[in-house]
Chain A
């Protein structure tokens, strides 16, 4: 009877997750969807308490209180511009939680093996069978990569570590060797009759190699490829949870929630995979190309970049404001520079002022603008800019032709016409926002330094382009001031 109640609650919880995600497909219902999913989590937790029954709750309560407090503080304090870091951190914690559970399960079952030392047996024969053993190794492998990879991604995104790719010599060989070692060690640990002690050592070796591999895999990947990395690690954190679910299936106690881990892990895994695919498509690169890393490490710091430009015209914010005054339609193109400069509120102010002058204001958001999928949309939402003014690349690209002014705020490679004009460019074939088709383009940028791809941007030399060299926030605030004086 208790069993029935527990599983009924789990099933309702899983339903809450499914319908919660379904509601996330519309802005209007998304908040309700998220709350529904949270209710599902509460149900699943309550069901687990019922299943556990009369046990000692000291550690459990302590864990819930500590975790809940940290989680609530993080969620309340984080700046919207720092969302990519927070999501990277959460990915890592998810991966870690999964392999901790797997290790804890392994530990308690492992004692049986130690006690039985006279007989040489394998994990495949004792601890829940071969499939549990394999799931255990996979949980450690995926969870470990997720944790250490996310820590590196977090460090890069938060500026604690340089965003530039770090290229080790022979890194592909090292990575392949590490991967092969994990498969061999994991296989030996599960299937070989090496005795309990060595089995334990092998399992921990799998974990430590996977932790090292996570670091090795993420350090060669540069800042602007982070949307792909975060999406992929998001997927991994789901897969790690699902693998832990398979470990629990074979456990003697605490296996009630195993299917929940498998279901939710698969849902999260799918979300990450889809976002990864979308991000790669938006850069016209394969996942393998992104993951092997090192993209754009040729340019960046070389000092000769500025001299490569000819005919660049620099303007003041005042001249830019005169162009904006009375323009029928303005399209704003936000990029990572907007997040760095925290310019979203200044843009909202400019937006309001332009709309008062009967200018139609729209926003063109490239899928990989910023450091994670949807990063720009969240920042603009924070500044109270209505989401129906935000358009995807495909929706708005035809409109630049009929636009008086396109304002590029802190974006670079995603507006570089070389992607379509120059078949030899490193970014050839990458879909871009066709800003150059607008009658006038205002580019707000601190200098002529190249973007992530390390190449020069032809757009800056176009006759219809005005360069405003300044911090995004300052430049826009000045434009607002000048516009007010004109009006």
Chain B
């Protein structure tokens, strides 16, 4: 990769780390479990890279690895967001009474 690309990537990485620290310090302990499962879902972003790894019909090593990556990343996204939603629904319920 070009060195400018790498440097831009590093800038983005470090700034996003700072942003994450700022945002997440404000999450109260009550919500730490949903925060973690939500973070799990977000780490399913690997799906974006995985999709590009299985773009032909061939039965090749790259395609199989890509397929596996898509399966795992999709489990993370779908499962992570769904279970977080299920938990947060329970947190919201008592206050409605």
Residues in chain A within 8 A of chain B (CB atoms):
17-18, 20-22, 24-28, 30-31, 33-35, 37-38, 41, 44-45, 47-49, 51-52, 55-56, 58-60, 62-64, 66-68, 70-72, 74-76, 78, 80, 83, 86-87, 90-91, 93-94, 96-98, 100-101, 103-105, 107-108, 128-129, 131-132, 230-231, 234, 237-238, 241-242, 244-246, 248-251, 253-254, 256-275, 278, 365, 367, 372-375, 377-378, 381-382, 384-388, 390, 392
Residues in chain B within 8 A of chain A (CB atoms):
1, 3, 5-6, 9, 12-14, 16-21, 23-57, 61-63, 65-95
Q: Is the CB of A372 within 8 A of B19?
A: no
B86: A residues at CB distance < 8 A: 75-76
A262: B residues at CB distance < 8 A: 9, 12-13, 16
B41: A residues at CB distance < 8 A: 34, 37-38, 41, 90
CB closest chain-B residue, reference A34: B84
Q: Is the CB of B55 within 8 A of A63?
A: no
Q: Is the CB of B29 within 8 A of A365?
A: yes
Q: In whole angstroms, what is the CA distance A91 to B51 when docked?
A: 20
CB closest chain-B residue, reference A20: B38
Q: Is the CB of B94 within 8 A of A87?
A: no
B contact patch SS: helix
Q: Which of A87, A128, A365 has most B Cβ within 10 Å?
A: A87
A-B contact list, 29 entries, CB within 8 Å = A18-B19, A18-B23, A27-B30, A30-B31, A33-B38, A38-B41, A48-B51, A56-B57, A72-B78, A72-B79, A87-B37, A94-B76, A101-B49, A107-B65, A231-B36, A237-B43, A238-B39, A244-B46, A244-B49, A245-B49, A261-B45, A265-B45, A270-B21, A275-B24, A372-B36, A373-B36, A374-B34, A378-B34, A387-B94
User: A41 contacts which of B18, B62, B63, B81 (Cβ < 8 Å)?
Assistant: B81
Q: Is the CB of B72 within 8 A of A67?
A: yes
Chain B: minimal CB distance from A25 (Å): 4
Q: Is the CB of B46 within 8 A of A261?
A: yes
